[in-house]
């Protein structure tokens, strides 16, 4: 049986009259890379703050590693919030050390681990810089180190790639994948679904304070397949029989849907007879497409 590192049961959180989480249930399998996806205002940050015990839910339960979530579990969780405050006047090394010690790490171990991570990310020469000298991306790298330094079982990243250029985003992404390989459970929270969809293996879609959809990404993608094929032809004057529907055409690039009782082979056979085919593949819906459809169908 799969073990859950975190279960959130029937969580309700209101701010005044506004319901930010309306009976939300989330189950996160140990070792998974879990995408918490949804538009701005959906309730993602509220849920992450509750998991990190920064705020308390009005009702509902949280089970962490098999037991009710308790204060000390914070030592087993790493959270990189989107709003990342570092003290501007402090030196980078000094600040990182302070934050590592706040997590309960002894001085020597904190120094050793920080040096390891700073060197791994090639930022050792920032140690004596003031935080205010760092760019947004640089500060985010330091924050990343401080988030993972105590080797937590569960890591929660809010919009992790937003402040990075593509090269540094790739570096951080690889580090996160490495942590995952070593058994750490990862939660990504983002409104930019395309930024994490290929690295997550489980997702929950949140909209308007409610979970709309949840499960293994492969299953969800499979459930939302709609028999549509993306086809490129040499020519741009395709005419098809009634068995197929052309949903969209951009020049010689077509989106074609199979009608009932027809298969990809039927479509190929018909195309081969009259057309020169450049490419042919099933159009798998993106997480964005799935989200839009799931919200509409509710």
Instruction: Provide the binding-site residues for ligand ADP, judged by CB under 6 A.
Output: 15, 18, 20, 38, 40-46
Query: In the bound complex, what is the minimum distance in angstroms from residue 111's beta carbon to ligand ADP?
Result: 35
Nearer to ligand ADP, 35 or 93 (CB): 35
Nearest CB to ligand ADP, comparing residues 112 and 194: 194
List the alpha helices (DSSP H) in the chain: 44-51, 92-102, 107-120, 136-148, 166-181, 217-223, 264-274, 287-297
Two tokens, residue 287: 């997480």
Kindly state the helix (H) or strand (E) to which residue 76 belongs, with its residue range. Answer: none
Find the shortest distance in angstroms from Cβ 96 to ligand ADP.
26
Residue 33 DSSP code: E
End-to-end CA distance of the chain: 31
Of 197 and 275, nearer to ligand ADP (C-beta) is 197
Least separation in angstroms between CB 41 and ligand ADP: 4
Residue closer to ligand ADP (CB basis): 84 or 101: 84
Please state the closest distance from residue 135 (CB atom) to ligand ADP, in A.
24
Residue 195's CB is within 10 A of a number of other CB atoms, namely 19
Q: How far is the CB of 45 from ligand ADP (least distance, A)?
A: 3
Nearer to ligand ADP, 40 or 67 (CB): 40
Burial of residue 254 (CB within 10 Å: 0-12, 13-18, 19+) is buried
Helices 92-102 and 136-148 sit at what angle, rounded to 10 degrees? 30
């Amino acid at each position: 049986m799969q073990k859950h590192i975190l279960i959130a049961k029937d969580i309700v959180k209101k701010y005044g009259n506004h319901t930010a989480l309306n009976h939300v249930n989330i189950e996160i399998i140990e070792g998974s890379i879990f995408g918490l996806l949804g538009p701005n205002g959906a309730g993602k940050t509220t849920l992450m703050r509750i998991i990190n015990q920064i705020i308390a839910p009005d009702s509902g339960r949280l089970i962490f590693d098999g037991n009710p979530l308790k204060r000390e579990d914070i030592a087993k969780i790493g959270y990189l919030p989107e709003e990342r405050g570092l003290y501007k006047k402090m030196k980078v090394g000094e600040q990182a050390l302070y934050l590592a010690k706040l997590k309960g790490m002894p001085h020597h171990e904190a120094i050793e681990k920080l040096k390891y991570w700073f060197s791994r990310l090639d930022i050792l020469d920032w140690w004596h810089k003031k935080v205010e000298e760092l760019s947004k991306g640089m500060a985010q790298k330091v924050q990343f180190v401080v988030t993972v330094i105590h080797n937590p079982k569960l890591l929660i990243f809010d919009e992790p790639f937003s402040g990075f250029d593509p090269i540094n985003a790739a570096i951080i992404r690889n580090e996160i994948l490495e942590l995952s390989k070593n058994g750490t459970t990862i939660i990504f929270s983002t409104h930019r679904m395309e930024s994490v969809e290929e690295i997550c293996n489980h997702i929950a879609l949140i909209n308007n304070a409610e979970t709309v959809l949840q499960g293994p990404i492969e299953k969800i993608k499979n459930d939302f397949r709609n028999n549509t094929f993306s086809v490129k032809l040499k020519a741009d004057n395709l005419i098809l029989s009634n068995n197929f529907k052309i949903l969209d055409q951009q020049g010689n690039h077509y989106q074609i849907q199979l009608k009932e009782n027809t298969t990809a082979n039927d479509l190929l056979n018909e195309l081969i007879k009259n057309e020169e085919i450049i490419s042919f593949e099933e159009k798998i819906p993106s997480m964005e497409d799935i989200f839009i459809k799931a919200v509409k169908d509710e």
